[in-house]
Structure 1
Amino acid sequence: MWDTIGEKSKLTVCFVGIFVSYLLYGVVQEKVTRGKYGEGENAERFTFTLALVCIQCIINAVFAKLVTSVIGAGKTTTPWSLFTQCSVSYMGAMLASNWSLKYVTYPTQVLGKSCKPIPVMLLAVILGKKRYPWTKYIVVLLIVSGVALFLYKDSHHRPHGSTSNLFGIGEMLLFLSLFLDGITGVIQDKMKTQKTHPLHIMLYLNIWSIFLLGIGLLLTGEGIQAVYFIIRHPEVMIHLVLFGLTSAIGQVFIFVTITTFSPLTCSIITTTRKFFTILVSVVMFANPLLSHQWLGVFLVFLGLGLENVIGKKQTSNR
């Protein structure tokens, strides 16, 4: 059935799937990480990042295994080494991004990660020997510049106490995270050329991530602490399961996008998804936009419009 759908319709399905699932994912994530469990003086927050990501990966892997069994995806012929490399770069990017929050503000981290399509494209060209039309570079630059302008806060709007240093440990961790995002994109491009099923990528990527995170949980002792927390507050399990399910559904759409289109297309979708999420929040709560933010909105829609025109021309030329 999927093969009978047109390219534009597939892209729309992938975008809506990623947008809706990760919108719900963000809501549940905020509930788990910022909500308090217990009452009175016994109320506490779930602060176990490694355990949270590990639970997420376990549910992702189980979900992928169940779906592959139902649809009869069969076995993969992709070398295990690719899954291993992809998992290491993927987890490295995630951990570097999370660790950067110890040194930079959350808006700075979001701003940095909004540039993800650039390293994905550049490393695909340098390491993967891919070639893109010049219009694709313009689309990426327009969207990334627009999102960056939209998220940017000048000195009068930065949080009190934020650092004025242009480059420090936090920024280095963000650059490392972006570099590893690009490496992950190159590896995923190799998987695409081997026609790897998206659910196989999801399954084995999460299995390797569980293994790596398990080592971290044992070495840090965070795994035991998280178990004790769940025993003290069993109601958190409902939120953890919902968190994992929304992540699993979102990952299905992400890996379908990667194998149907490319890692670059996927990174553009996830970047614009963050932009639209924040834009909806701004509109709902009637927060005024600054002049440079309106310019950012214009650049993003200009980039998306240009991408749509390019897609139509490529379809008509086939």
Structure 2
Amino acid sequence: MSKHGHGTEVHSTKQLAVCFFGIFFSYLLFGIIQEWITRTSYGENKERFTFTYCLVFFQCVANALFSKIIISYNRESTDSTSKWMFPVCALTYLCAMLASNEALQHVSYPTQVLGKSIKPVPVMILGVLIARKRYHKAKYLGVLMIVLGIVMFMYKDKKQAKVSDDPIPNHPFALIGFGELLLLISLAMDGLTGAIQDKMNGSHRTNPHTMMYNMNLWSCFYLFFAIILTGEIFEFSIFIQKFPYVIGNMILLSLLGCVGQHFIFTTITTFGPLKCSIITTTRKFFTILGSVIIFNNPMSTRQWLGSVFVFLGLALDSKYGKEIKQKH
């Protein structure tokens, strides 16, 4: 390998590491602040913050402003991406997020986390089918090992389930309830989002902040109608008048979201949406693994095996992660 090629590879590895830790730490803090906002009991009546559309709208506005400022400051080159891709991509992205959040009303949080853990699979499949991506066979094996390992690590035994959980259905078709259906829809939308982003990267010259700006701008457009039609904006206004300090927490959450999205869109445009989905999925695994190690919690044989699968899968993905170029 030439010195130039070796230097480029080292630079790429360093950039990927920066993106990984940027996503890891920003969304670790993001999750803490988000839980603080949504789980806190406000006032004497122990009110809860339940305004999901308004919270996401607030974040999208902040993300759009953040990316617009960076575009103006850096004077980034003109983006050649077809304009129709941004509204479609923003719609599939929002549908995935909203379906995932709504699923929590029908399934437990561990079930939702497990369901979303297989996100790299539909991203890869639809990337191959729609964006015509091609990967080394070991890449497929690596992604499957990562997903299987995370599922094995996070899976809760039936004896650990709450007594109040619903009984096991008597017929197999009842195993797929409305919550599970919403998770499948969310995963399908994740796959479509990844496929569209792959086409952006493959057929056009897309820069990260232009993608970030346009997707958030269209998301603001969709969410504006959502908060008006559902009437959530009016309830949110009343809540904020009673507890104005919540705005400060929302601003902090949005700033962390801006930093996180900066690294996410940099990863997408530089390394592809599949690599980004692997990073965001394994982030949860490393967070839980770190907690287990720090607090000396015992790990079961299944969790140890799952951890081995994840690390082996990451090793395969690292070695065979590059896309196979199409022959023309």
Find 1:263's aligned residue among 263, 273, 295.
Answer: 273
CA distance in 1, matches of 2:162, 2:279: 28
- Pairwise CA distance, 1:281: 2.0
CA distance in 1, matches of 2:99, 2:50: 17
Q: Does 1:46 align with 2:46?
A: no
Deviations 1:77-112 (A, max 9, x none): 322210011011000101111111111101000000
Q: Does 1:66 align with 2:69?
A: yes
Report the TM-score, using the length of structure 2 for normalisation: 0.90
User: What residue ranges of structure 2 are gaps of 5+ in the alignment?
Assistant: 1-7, 170-174
Q: Does 1:196 align with 2:206?
A: yes
CA distance in 2, matches of 1:159, 1:67: 48
Find 2:117's aligned residue among 114, 118, 122.
Answer: 114
Deviations 1:6-55 (A, max 9, x none): 111111111111111111111111111112333xx244221111111111
Give runs of aligned pairs for residues 1-318 of structure 1, distance below 5 A. Answer: 6-38=11-43, 41-163=44-166, 164-165=168-169, 166-193=175-202, 194-310=204-320
CA distance in 2, matches of 1:218, 1:5: 49
- Pairwise CA distance, 1:5: 6.6
CA distance in 2, matches of 1:149, 1:71: 44
Poorly superposed stretches of 4+, deviation over 6 Å: none
CA distance in 2, matches of 1:4, 1:147: 28
Identity of aligned residues (%): 50
Coordinate RMSD, CA, aligned: 1.8
Q: When the two structures are aligned, how many residues end up with a matched partner?
A: 309
Q: Which amino acid aligns with 1:77?
A: S
- Pairwise CA distance, 1:311: 5.7
- Pairwise CA distance, 1:4: 9.9
CA distance in 1, matches of 2:78, 2:134: 31
Deviations 1:170-198 (A, max 9, x none): 11110110011000001001111212111
- Pairwise CA distance, 1:279: 1.3
Q: Which amino acid aligns with 1:97?
A: S
User: What residue ranges of structure 1 are gaps of 5+ in the alignment?
Assistant: none
> SS at 1:195's partner residue?
coil
CA distance in 2, matches of 1:178, 1:42: 37
Q: Which residue of 1 aligns with 2:3?
A: none
Q: Which amino acid aligns with 1:236?
A: V
- Pairwise CA distance, 1:75: 3.9
